[in-house]
Amino acid sequence: MSAPADGPRESVPTHPMISPHSEREARKGAQPAFAAPARPQPPPPTGPPVWDGPPPKGASPQQPSVLDRVRALMDRVSIRWRLTITYGLLFFVAGMLLLFVIYMLVGWSINDAWPPISLPDAPFAYQQKFQQEWTGFRHLAIDEARKALLRRSLLALAGVGILAVIIGYLVADRALKPIQQMTTTARKLSGTTLAHERIGLKGPNDELKELADTFDAMLTRLNVAFDTQRRFVANASHELRTPLTINRTVLEIALGDPEASGDLKALGRTLLEVNARNEHLIEGLLLLARSERELSVRKPVDVKDVAETAVEQLTSRAEEAGVTMTAELRSAQTEGDPVLLERCVANLVENAIKHNLPEAGRLWVRTGMVEGALVVQVANTGPHVPAYEVNSLFEPFRRLNADRVESARGAGLGLSIVRAVVRAHGGNVTAVPRDGGGLVVTVRLRSR
């Protein structure tokens, strides 16, 4: 039976509950039935970005003043020319001041020395007219004398001023000579020359002598610090070699036991590989510490013989890696430690073999004389090396695309040892990326 029409109606809640299904639909992006239809979204922008707003606010550029322009110009001038210009300006200012004083003194001197003349017997009117003319002659003489003096003095000042500028340049060069000596010494300094390279400036005890002595004292302290560091590395490396040798012996004995299980032998072989890598790292640290010291052995060396020995030692390794080695060796004489130079070339060749193409790799070794300098060049194919990464490869424990990370290809000391050996022999080493991948490393040494 239905309810009467005028009976109480069931109240409808103002805010009905939303079911969990509606929440799931809202999270999925579905719109409720009562929601307004969404406006169509514009497509994403394409092409290069275009500025469609007002121009950015910024301070309007101010025109530089004359003084600012002069300062900017002086900042681009070397200190030698600044001193020369200062000497020249001071000379011209002093010359102009002296010229002004002489200009005034000449007029005063003529005025004081001008003789007075009187005509006592002449009429008064005639005497007055004569005195006026005589005074005019005096002023005319003063003006003519000053004009002649000014004209000739300016010509003399210009000629002597040019000479003063030349002398000022020579004086500035002479004054800056001790600084040039300090700069030359600082450029020649390296970790291997701190022991004997000093400025040793001779002269009076002035500011420059005090600066040079302070710089020499700083070099002495740096040499002590570097030498202490090298001794620590060498001593630590020596101390680490003993336990590594003991570990290798124990592992070899364990692997030689016929009753050892397969797992034990596999673990022993892994530990032997780790131990061999640690020994290689210690040997590299010892060689690096030795290379950074001052050379104790200096004898005539033919770099061709050194390179031939290194190439012969690494030929088999290159064949195993599938790398074709091409050697073009010419005689070039220098003085140094043959063992270190051989290690230097061997590191370059070994590094070129390790970081080469996995198949059909190429390697080129060249030695000879170029423009009076001894040159050793090693080039190889391989992965692309970014130009900004090349210099960092000469740092200890640095590898391409990996910084201080374990690597099966080595400890990251090969190129560091090369740089240390080359610097100890007074040379330099550079590397550039090779077109097509790989590196071209060039060592330059002084010839005999």
Q: Which domain holds residue 163?
A: 70-175
CA dihedral (274, 275, 278, 283) in degrees, to 10, reads -140
356 within a domain of the structure (yes/no): yes
* Vertex 226: Cα angle to 222 and 227 (nearest 5): 115
In a domain, 26, yes or no: no
Burial class (CB in 10 A: 0-12, 13-18, 19+), 397: middle
- Lowest-confidence segment of 208-217, 369-378, 409-418 by average pLDDT: 409-418
User: Tell me, what's the pLDDT at 362?
Assistant: 92
How many Å apart are CA 134 and CA 119, to the nearest integer?
Answer: 12
Query: 71-119, pLDDT tens digit by residue?
Result: 777 677 778 888 888 888 888 889 899 989 988 888 888 888 888 877 7
- Where do runs of H (alpha helix) occur along 176-206? 177-188
Domain shared by 305 and 437, yes or no: yes
Of residues 177 and 361, more confidently modeled: 361
With 90 as the cut, is the pLDDT of residue 269 above it?
A: no
CATH number at residue 370: 3.30.565.10
pLDDT of residue 124: 74
Is the pLDDT at 214 greater than 70, yes or no? yes
pLDDT beyond 80 at 332 = yes
Predicted local confidence at residue 323, as pLDDT? 92
Domain presence at residue 253: no
438 shares a domain with 301: yes
For the stretch 111-124, pLDDT in tens is 888 888 777 777 77
Q: Indicate whether 168 and 301 sit together in one domain.
A: no
Domain end point (choices 175, 198, 215): 175
Q: Flag whether 75 is in a domain.
A: yes
Query: Is pLDDT of 406 > 50?
Result: no
Co-location of 167 and 305 in the same domain: no
Write down the pLDDT at residue 308.
92
What is the number of structural domains in the chain? 2
Look-up of token digits 């103002």: 14
Percent of the chain at pLDDT exceeding 70: 76
12 pLDDT more than 90: no
Provide the pLDDT for residue 48.
Answer: 55
User: Scanning the structure block, which residue is given the tokens 């033919």?
Assistant: 302
Task: Over range 390-411, report the average pLDDT.
Answer: 61
pLDDT tops 80 at residue 400 = no
pLDDT (0 to 100) of residue 19: 41
Query: DSSP readout, 64-89?
Result: PPHHHHHHHHHHTS-HHHHHHHHHHH
- Mean pLDDT lowest among 2-11, 148-157, 345-354, 437-446: 2-11
Q: What is the CB neighbour count within 10 angstroms for residue 10?
A: 5
Residues 95, 157: contact at Cβ < 8 Å?
yes
Contact indicator for 332, 447 with CB cutoff of 8 Å: yes
Whole-model pTM: value is 0.47
Higher-confidence position of 167 and 277: 167
In DSSP terms, 329 is beta-bridged to: 367
Q: In what order do the strands lie in the sheet with 323-329?
A: 323-329, 361-370, 373-380, 439-446, 428-433
| Residue 237, domain member (yes or no) | no
Which whole number is the average pLDDT over 354-377? Answer: 88
With 0-12 / 13-18 / 19 or more C-beta atoms within 10 angstroms meaning exposed / middle / buried, residue 235 is exposed
* pLDDT of res. 365: 93
398 bridge partner residues:
403
pLDDT tens figures, 221-263: 887 887 777 777 677 777 777 788 888 888 888 888 887 788 8
- Residue 364 confidence (pLDDT): 93
**pLDDT 10s digits, 117-165:** 777 777 777 778 878 888 888 888 888 888 888 888 888 888 888 888 8
pLDDT at 20 over 50: no
pLDDT in tens, 333-361: 988 888 888 888 988 998 899 888 888 89
Residue 145 lies in a domain: yes
Among 155, 175, 195, give the residue marking a domain's end. 175
Residue 404 carries which DSSP code? S
Q: What is the predicted pLDDT for the residue at 195?
A: 63
Whether 121 is covered by a domain: the verdict is yes
pLDDT beyond 80 at 413: no
Is residue 171 domain-shared with residue 304, that is, in the same domain? no
Q: Does residue 119 belong to any structural domain of this protein?
A: yes
**Distance from CA of residue 24 to its chain's centroid?**
62
Structure confidence at residue 1 (pLDDT): 42
Last residue of a domain, one of 120, 153, 175: 175
